[in-house]
Every structure is written in C-alpha cells, then in structure tokens.
Amino acid sequence: QVQLVESGGGSVQAGHSLSLSCAHSQLPQTYFALAWFRQAPGKDREFVSSINTWSGGLTFYAASVEGRFTISRDSAGSTVYLQMNSLKPEDTAVYYCAGRRRSGNYYNQGEYGDWGQGTQVTVSS
C-alpha cells in the first residue's frame, strides 16, 4: 500500500514559521513530482507548491505563498519538505502531500494519484 506520511504541522502565531515534511516508502524517484495541497475549513482543496523529483528539481508555487514558502526534496526524491515562513491566518488549513508519477499539470490535483492523510496547520493572529 502506498504511503505518503506528512509530519510537522502545528499551531503558531502569525509571522512565525513551520516546516512540513512528507516521506514515502516507494522506490527512490517513484514519483515524477511531489506536491503540497491544502484545504481550509469550508473551502476546496487548493494547490500550494510542487517539485519535480526527477532531474532539475523544478518548483512551482501558488501566488498566495510565493516568496514565503519554499519546497525542497532530498536527493533520492523520497522526502519533500515545505518551509513556511511569515505565516498568515489565511494559511490555516490541513496540508496534504501528494505524488504524481508522470509529467502533467503541477496544479491539477486530479493528476496526483497518491495522497497522505494530511497535517493541520493553524496560524493565529
């Protein structure tokens, strides 16, 4: 069974930082890309950031987090990280890790076949 396991969520005040990580138990570079999505209460799940785990490590960010969040991966492509700085109350959501096994649209959650259980991030003002 495919497992993507997130960790690192928590509660912080606005302006502070949190770091999330997501590890999978598949063979290295199983996924063409790993990404973070989030879902706030009462809202649809939305794209946050993605990184290609094969050559190049190309990254993408949602406009709402560009410049504040940084996605990275380990050399094997088995773990992806999300460093979240200057957090805002509107960043409050459940953050999900997702894996995509082939190239495609990085922001399209329908193209990600494997998902983690999610980790809660709460930012208070």
DSSP character at residue 78: S
Sign of CA dihedral 85, 13, 44, 77: positive
By percentage, how much of the chain surpasses pLDDT 70? 98
**pLDDT range class, residue 2, cuts 50, 70, 90:** low
**Measured over all CA atoms, what is the biggest interatomic distance in the chain, rounded to whole angstroms?**
41
Assigned token pair, 123: 């930012």
Whole-number pLDDT of residue 3: 82
The yes-or-no verdict on residue 115 having pLDDT over 80 is yes
Residue, of 113 and 27, whose pLDDT is higher:
113
Whole-number pLDDT of residue 57: 87
Average pLDDT over residues 36-44: 97
The yes-or-no verdict on residue 56 having pLDDT over 80 is no
DSSP character at residue 42: T
Which residues, other chains included, contact 108 with Cβ-Cβ below 8 Å and sequence gap of 6+? Answer: none
Tokens 């993408």 belong to 60
Whole-number pLDDT of residue 7: 94
Whole-number pLDDT of residue 1: 63
